[in-house]
Structure 1
Amino acid sequence: MVGLTEAKLRALAGTRSFERGLGYVDAVSGIEVGTDSIRASVQGTHRYGAELTLGGPRGLAGECDCPHGQEGNFCKHLVALGLVALAQKADLPRQRKTARNRARGLDAWLSALSREELLALVRNEITEDRNVRRRLELRAASARGDLAALRSRLRELLDIGPFASYGYVEYADARAYADQAGQAVSAIRALTASDRPADAVVLAREAIALLAAAAENVDDSDGRLGQIGADLADLHHTACRAARPDPEELAHWLVGHAVDEAAADLTYLDPLDYEDVLGERGTAALRRHAVLAWQAHRTGWAEKHLMQRLAKAGRDVDTVIAVHAADLAPNGHTHLLIARELESAGRFAEALEWAERGLRDTGNLATVDTALVDHLTDRYTRADRLTDAVTLRSDHFKARRTLLTYRQLRVAAQAARCWPTERKKALALLSADAGAGADRKGAQGTSVLVDVLLDDRDIDAAWQAATTSGAHDTQWRTLADTSRATRPAEALAAYLRLAKPLTHQTGSRTYEELVALLLSMRDCHRALGTQDDFTAYVTTLRTTQKRKRNLMRLMDEHGL
């Protein structure tokens, strides 16, 4: 088959999938060669159906129902099928010719049958194959205009019972269920095509509801039911365009669907897309029903989301604010959202009032949304209210004493030219925390005092704080690295203390960290003029750690 080469398979799949496909060659079975296709089963995590096609607009292509293939990728199973086909390449022309002959023979045989013989054949197939029977029953009911029969058949198609074990459809059976459920889409589409869009609207809604209920009990890892749901939503919209249902009734259904999270998540049907069908009267009804749904459940996510989208679409800022205000978050986040909405509408004074109200309503700056504090500080700064900005940052720092809030206070105070005063007060708070023995792992412990002093490059004060109240290993390392040239004795003591526990550990990272400390120690000894002491330390270390070959190798590489 022209175009089927190993190089083409590698190019389509990529190196990784191609290499993995090599291991699946023996898992290929049931090869069926058609005139322009090759089909087979490939045993992977499950048994997957793979098909290669030639002669299309893209040349060589393939489809597989594995998860990777369902995402549109040329997967390892297709690679395996292609490699098996290449191994049989010499025989493929004969097999393709045989396939063409079979197709022609079948067509010729069917054409020669009488009407009675064809009917007998179809009836026999209906008896033996349930799927064939269902498909033909749907077509017959559609042709007769028998809505009750169609509804009954749709319920059968969307029933998970035949595929479920203990009420749940496992992954292995999900595809078969999805294939059957997909027949419902075809049946409803046929109604629209046959000038019966009003019936299609009714059945599409019923099918969406049935599928949404079923989806909760199906392992739809491959997303097949989601695609069927999207197809049903498209069919509903298309049918509505043709049938032009009552706008008031349509609006009521759209809102009910939107606030039914299971159904909405399945179809992603957007009520705002129906503006062309609803018209002015229907759009007004849509807003009215949305308000009623929201009033009945003000904290519901779906209700709030629909209200917000409708309000924004109509540029109704006050409605958006009302929806937010009905369910204010205790940390001020919702106040911030309201402030941003008001700002986007050019209502800056109201926006500032809502942001400030967020701080008041929160009450505790330790739990406030930090984005609200940042927002207000920025607005105060823009308005040249620098004192207010400093006060806010100072209050926030007092409530949440962290390196970040200290830095933010410093920026605000430097802009207001009052940093020395604010710094003194902030350091006094942190020193009091350290003196009171606050949790050093928390936001108010000694670690914060050392961090802020290091951040201020006040190294002497940082050493004093660390020596007096303690510090974390990372802080001792920073202190030592920062002042190795000016405080070699103190830095050396810190390095020795940090190195000691590492000598009892193993692993590449440990060895690299230990060697880095040794190099820093060597610098300290050179500054102190005590190189002999360093040599003695390294000699002892080599003696006690000689079994750690990787450590010895690293030390050799660095001349230690």
Structure 2
Amino acid sequence: MDGLTEAKLKSLAGARSFERGQDYTDAVSGVEFDGDRITAFVHGTERYEVELVLRGARGPVGECDCPYGQEGNFCKHLVALGLTLLARKADIPRMRKEARGRARGLDAWLSGLAREELLAVVREEAAEDSRLRRRLELRAASARGDLAGIRSRVRELLDIGPFARYGCVEYADAHAYADQAGQAVSAIRSLTASGRAADAMTLAREAIEVLAGVVENVDDSDGCLETVGTGLADAHHEACRTAAPDPEELAQWLAAHALRDACDLADIDPLDYADLLGERGMVALRRHAVEAWQANRTGWAEKDLMQRLAKSGRDIDTLIAVHAADLAPNGHSHLLIARELDTAGRTPEALEWAERGIRETDDLATVDTALVDHLADRYTRIGRLADAITLRRDHFAARRTLLTYRQLRATAETTGHWPAERENALTLLRADGDRVLIDILLDDQDLDAAWQAATAFGAHDGQWLTLADHSRPTRPADALPVYLRLAARLAPQTGNAAYEQLVSLLLSIRDCHHRLGTPDDFTAYVTTLRATHKRKRNLMRLMDEHGL
């Protein structure tokens, strides 16, 4: 109980849910302990089942089946249970002791029942609890060796029909569907455990296909079905490890799975089966991958499978061939090839591919910036500094941003050519009246030139504000009109975000008047502003807080 405190509950739930949870403590009933797991019911709009798990100093985690709780939030009902436990802290040792006593009593009672009595109890509970009945039916089918029965039950568990509205499972029902679908994983694993791994392998494959077929009709925002898919993938791997299927048949299925949409849900990496496939199976896997890629060299799944197999076998030439068969127009594929060749120690070829990527790009403005960085770095390493500067210059000319300017500056400074390069770059921007010139001059800390550029070419509000902020200490007379103009545009707006921005501008305006020795002008300005916007209570409060 050390980690269960009011402060922790408030931190998990947030102030609003915590406050609302305080009103629900009288609605908590049926508190039960099972070790560190505590369940209860909280009566709100409906009766909700809540569960807290105490984790010592780390604090509790909880689940609730209310709509807000099903979204993964620590809701007011969980807060109510937590507060109830804190209020009854002295009783908890006794309640835990009683829970252990009840568990022992149940075990003793069941152990003492005659066979027919025990069967009657099980039948009665199964009739009242459909989930329990399904689990028992699956176990019975497994024990009988009834593969058809198990297959039928697994398909029922994966059927979205009982949960779907208008053909789709909505978010509120997705968790319940995933819980049911998860029982299929347990059923398949039980087959493996009972010595029927080959059947489990077959059912796992069928279940993966069924689940992949319905996933588009389920609002799985929380990724619950991904967990089920992972469980099915693990169950398949376990079954294969026990059943030892024919390597070539396994290779064929793994390749086919990797190329289907189902692989997104049950992420099965064929390389995880390398020890089961052996040399014969890996040869077959590569053959299937090559055949699929040759039939569709631009398919994402085909390329991904080929790349994984090539990397695992350190087959650089095949990896390059896959990339080269579908070159991206922005040079990204050329970059991937260059990196692979660099890693393999084939530096001249890597440089050639990187240069080719620049040459084959129609417009340097759209080239992958990482390719430019890669090639410029390689030029610098081998002493081709002039080529590095030329590349950076051409990239800046095509893509005029503060980042490309900085990259040109960094490269040119290493050779002492920056003054000339800078002048050329600024001349290019001035000729076109490009507003990025203002950002660049500010980055160069050339305030006078930045003001001139803003006056000559215009600037957006963010640039004017940055100019004013940089200039206020030394040029308050220039900064003040900027702040006043921005404040005039902002003053009519409503909302706390607008109010906070306006107050920030007012503080800057006050500072300008202070530096100019005109505080009375500021007082008159603020008085007029207050009179005009006095109905905006939040704005008035913010101004009061800042002494405005």
Is contact 1:198–1:239 with CA below 8 Å preserved after alignment?
Answer: yes
Matching of residue 141 in structure 1 with residue 141 in structure 2:
yes
Matching of residue 496 in structure 1 with residue 481 in structure 2:
yes
The CA distance in 1 between the partners of 2:263 and 2:252, in whole Å, is: 15
The CA distance in 1 between the partners of 2:464 and 2:322, in whole Å, is: 52
Indicate the RMSD between aligned Cα atoms, in angstroms: 4.1
Is contact 1:70–1:222 with CA below 8 Å preserved after alignment?
Answer: no
Is contact 2:402–2:436 with CA below 8 Å preserved after alignment?
Answer: yes
The SS at the match of 1:366 is helix
Q: 1:447-471: per-residue Cα shift (whole Å, max 9, x none)?
A: 2334434444455544444444444
The CA distance in 2 between the partners of 1:400 and 1:285, in whole Å, is: 48
Quote how far apart the aligned CAs of 1:416 are. 3.0
After superposition, the Cα gap between the structure-2 partners of 1:543 and 1:95, relative to the gap in structure 1 and judged at 3 Å, is closer
The CA distance in 1 between the partners of 2:280 and 2:465, in whole Å, is: 71
Is contact 2:22–2:79 with CA below 8 Å preserved after alignment?
Answer: yes
Alignment of 1:85-100 (within 5 A): 93=94, 100=101
The CA distance in 1 between the partners of 2:405 and 2:31, in whole Å, is: 70
Partner of 1:258: 258
The SS at the match of 2:365 is coil
Partner of 2:219: 219
Q: 1:16 aligns with which of 8, 11, 16?
A: 11
After superposition, the Cα gap between the structure-2 partners of 1:417 and 1:129, relative to the gap in structure 1 and judged at 3 Å, is closer
The CA distance in 1 between the partners of 2:544 and 2:96, in whole Å, is: 68
After superposition, the Cα gap between the structure-2 partners of 1:16 and 1:535, relative to the gap in structure 1 and judged at 3 Å, is closer
Q: 1:512 aligns with which of 504, 508, 527?
A: 504
Partner of 1:151: 151
Alignment of 1:295-374 (within 5 A): 295-374=294-373
The SS at the match of 2:364 is coil
Quote how far apart the aligned CAs of 1:246 are. 0.5
Is contact 1:31–1:40 with CA below 8 Å preserved after alignment?
Answer: yes
Is contact 1:403–1:451 with CA below 8 Å preserved after alignment?
Answer: yes
The CA distance in 2 between the partners of 1:412 and 1:340, in whole Å, is: 21
Partner of 1:234: 234
The CA distance in 2 between the partners of 1:95 and 1:460, in whole Å, is: 76
After superposition, the Cα gap between the structure-2 partners of 1:234 and 1:470, relative to the gap in structure 1 and judged at 3 Å, is closer
The SS at the match of 1:40 is strand
The CA distance in 2 between the partners of 1:256 and 1:248, in whole Å, is: 12
Quote how far apart the aligned CAs of 1:217 are. 2.2
Partner of 2:494: none
Matching of residue 452 in structure 1 with residue 440 in structure 2:
yes
Alignment of 1:64-83 (within 5 A): 64=63, 77-83=77-83
Is contact 1:453–1:462 with CA below 8 Å preserved after alignment?
Answer: yes
The CA distance in 2 between the partners of 1:483 and 1:218, in whole Å, is: 57
The CA distance in 2 between the partners of 1:58 and 1:449, in whole Å, is: 55
Matching of residue 41 in structure 1 with residue 36 in structure 2:
no
Is contact 2:64–2:75 with CA below 8 Å preserved after alignment?
Answer: no
After superposition, the Cα gap between the structure-2 partners of 1:70 and 1:255, relative to the gap in structure 1 and judged at 3 Å, is farther
Aligned residue identity for 1:419: W
Is contact 2:479–2:512 with CA below 8 Å preserved after alignment?
Answer: no
The CA distance in 1 between the partners of 2:153 and 2:313, in whole Å, is: 42
Q: 1:468-512: per-residue Cα shift (whole Å, max 9, x none)?
A: 4444555556666666788x5xx6245235424525644343233
The CA distance in 1 between the partners of 2:131 and 2:447, in whole Å, is: 81
Aligned residue identity for 1:169: V
Matching of residue 161 in structure 1 with residue 161 in structure 2:
yes
Alignment of 1:160-559 (within 5 A): 160-261=160-261, 263-434=262-433, 445=434, 447-472=435-460, 475=463, 492-503=477-488, 505-506=490-491, 507-523=499-515, 525=516, 531=517, 534=518, 537-538=521-522, 540-541=524-525, 544-545=528-529, 547=531
The SS at the match of 1:9 is coil
After superposition, the Cα gap between the structure-2 partners of 1:45 and 1:345, relative to the gap in structure 1 and judged at 3 Å, is farther
Is contact 2:141–2:147 with CA below 8 Å preserved after alignment?
Answer: yes
Is contact 1:9–1:79 with CA below 8 Å preserved after alignment?
Answer: no
Compare 500-509 and 190-199 and name the one that shifted more.
500-509
Partner of 1:439: none
After superposition, the Cα gap between the structure-2 partners of 1:291 and 1:75, relative to the gap in structure 1 and judged at 3 Å, is farther
Quote how far apart the aligned CAs of 1:240 are. 0.9
The CA distance in 1 between the partners of 2:326 and 2:152, in whole Å, is: 44
After superposition, the Cα gap between the structure-2 partners of 1:520 and 1:272, relative to the gap in structure 1 and judged at 3 Å, is same
The CA distance in 2 between the partners of 1:366 and 1:93, in whole Å, is: 72
Aligned residue identity for 1:215: V
The CA distance in 1 between the partners of 2:139 and 2:526, in whole Å, is: 86
The CA distance in 2 between the partners of 1:336 and 1:260, in whole Å, is: 28
After superposition, the Cα gap between the structure-2 partners of 1:51 and 1:389, relative to the gap in structure 1 and judged at 3 Å, is closer
After superposition, the Cα gap between the structure-2 partners of 1:73 and 1:195, relative to the gap in structure 1 and judged at 3 Å, is farther
Is contact 1:390–1:416 with CA below 8 Å preserved after alignment?
Answer: no
Quote how far apart the aligned CAs of 1:138 are. 2.3
Is contact 2:197–2:239 with CA below 8 Å preserved after alignment?
Answer: yes
Is contact 1:477–1:495 with CA below 8 Å preserved after alignment?
Answer: no
The CA distance in 1 between the partners of 2:331 and 2:151, in whole Å, is: 50
The SS at the match of 2:290 is helix
Aligned residue identity for 1:496: P
Compare 397-406 and 278-287 and name the one that shifted more.
397-406
The CA distance in 2 between the partners of 1:246 and 1:199, in whole Å, is: 14
Quote how far apart the aligned CAs of 1:364 are. 1.0
Quote how far apart the aligned CAs of 1:243 are. 0.8
Partner of 1:528: none
After superposition, the Cα gap between the structure-2 partners of 1:408 and 1:127, relative to the gap in structure 1 and judged at 3 Å, is closer
The SS at the match of 2:39 is strand
TM-score, normalised by the number of residues in structure 1: 0.80
Compare 336-345 and 211-220 and name the one that shifted more.
211-220
The CA distance in 2 between the partners of 1:219 and 1:552, in whole Å, is: 44
Aligned pair count reads 529
Aligned residue identity for 1:376: L
Aligned residue identity for 1:228: V
Percent of residue pairs identical? 58
Is contact 1:542–1:552 with CA below 8 Å preserved after alignment?
Answer: no
Partner of 1:441: none
Q: Which runs of 5+ in 2 are unaligned?
A: 492-498
The CA distance in 1 between the partners of 2:405 and 2:484, in whole Å, is: 32
After superposition, the Cα gap between the structure-2 partners of 1:28 and 1:348, relative to the gap in structure 1 and judged at 3 Å, is same
